[in-house]
């Protein structure tokens, strides 16, 4: 369970994060998993980063509009950290302490990949900001949805419709290829927490792959949970 206090593990909710490039299907799959967990006697909330709390949503608008990019990668990283600090303390930690499962669309790994690996922000700065904003909070499971870049961008365009592309969707094809490679490397480097999910399939197939991982990693020892009618 989230956090390092073993004595509280029985009462804390689980913390699952979803990561991946643009158009990987995170928003669809996070809701499918939440519905399934709710039907398996767990209480869940679905949240997102940047955003997830009133204060963080204000910062989200600044970040995704591209305004933050003008200040440089370090300043943009500070904005992400400010949003995360509010989100963690206002939403994530209180929910986990009440035994609620938290499903979050992006978390610290997005900062490590987007701003760290691709934005060349000093890893020491990212680590220091994590220490301040999240302390010992870590996801129990991180699901990295992996799709070919061309597939993901097509999905993002279809989802967006006539709306203006956000700051990250507007990046070059090369940026998105590096992004995918960075996430694949993350899954290789941290296999105890991260699982790479082949998301180049229909939603039901991907959902089944995710559910199998959740059962294996988080529900295997809880044979008493049964699906409600």
pLDDT tens-digit profile of 61-94? Answer: 988 887 767 778 899 999 999 999 999 999 999 9
Nearest by Cα to 228 from 14, 10, 36: 36
Q: Does the residue 224 lie in any domain?
A: no
Q: Does the residue 68 lie in any domain?
A: yes
Q: How far apart are CA 31 and CA 107, in angstroms?
A: 16
Q: Does the residue 198 lie in any domain?
A: yes
Q: Does the residue 34 lie in any domain?
A: yes
* Residue 7 CB contacts under 8 Å (≥ 6 apart), including other chains: none
Q: What is the CATH number of the domain that holds 65?
A: 3.40.50.300
Q: Does the residue 32 lie in any domain?
A: yes
**Chain-centroid distance, C-alpha 189:** 17
Q: How many residues does this entry show for the chain?
A: 229
Q: Write out the residue range of the structural domain in which residue 191 sits.
A: 6-218
Q: Does the residue 57 lie in any domain?
A: yes
Q: How many helices and strands (H and E) does the chain possess?
A: 9, 5
pTM value is 0.87
84 HSE (CA, 13 A, CB side): 23
Q: Does the residue 67 lie in any domain?
A: yes
pLDDT tens-digit profile of 158-193? Answer: 876 666 555 566 677 888 999 999 999 999 999 999
Question: What does the block give as tokens for 94?
Answer: 């209180």
Q: What is the DSSP letter of 164?
A: P
**Chain position carrying tokens 């870590």:** 138
**How many domains in the chain?**
1
pLDDT tens-digit profile of 105-133? Answer: 999 999 999 999 999 999 999 999 999 99
Q: Does the residue 229 lie in any domain?
A: no
């Amino acid at each position: 369970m989230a956090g390092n206090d073993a004595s509280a593990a029985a009462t804390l909710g689980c913390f699952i994060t979803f990561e991946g490039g643009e158009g990987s299907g995170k928003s669809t799959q996070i809701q499918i998993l939440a519905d399934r967990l709710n039907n398996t006697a767990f209480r869940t909330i679905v949240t997102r980063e940047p955003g997830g709390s009133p204060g963080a949503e204000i910062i989200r608008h600044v970040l995704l509009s591209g305004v933050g990019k003008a200040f440089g990668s370090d300043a943009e990283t500070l904005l992400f950290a400010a949003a995360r600090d509010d989100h963690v303390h206002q939403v994530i930690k209180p929910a986990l302490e009440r035994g609620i499962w938290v499903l979050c669309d992006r978390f610290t790994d997005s900062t490590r990949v987007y701003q760290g690996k691709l934005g060349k922000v000093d890893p020491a700065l990212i680590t220091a900001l994590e220490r301040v904003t999240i302390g010992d909070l870590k996801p129990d499971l991180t699901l990295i949805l992996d799709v070919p870049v061309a597939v993901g961008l097509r999905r993002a365009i279809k989802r967006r419709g006539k709306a203006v592309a956000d700051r990250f969707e507007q990046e070059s094809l090369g940026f998105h290829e590096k992004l995918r490679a960075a996430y694949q490397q993350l899954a290789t480097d941290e296999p105890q927490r991260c699982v790479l999910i082949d998301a180049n399939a229909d939603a039901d197939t991907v959902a089944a792959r995710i559910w199998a991982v959740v059962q294996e990693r988080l529900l295997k020892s809880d044979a008493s949970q049964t699906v409600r009618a």
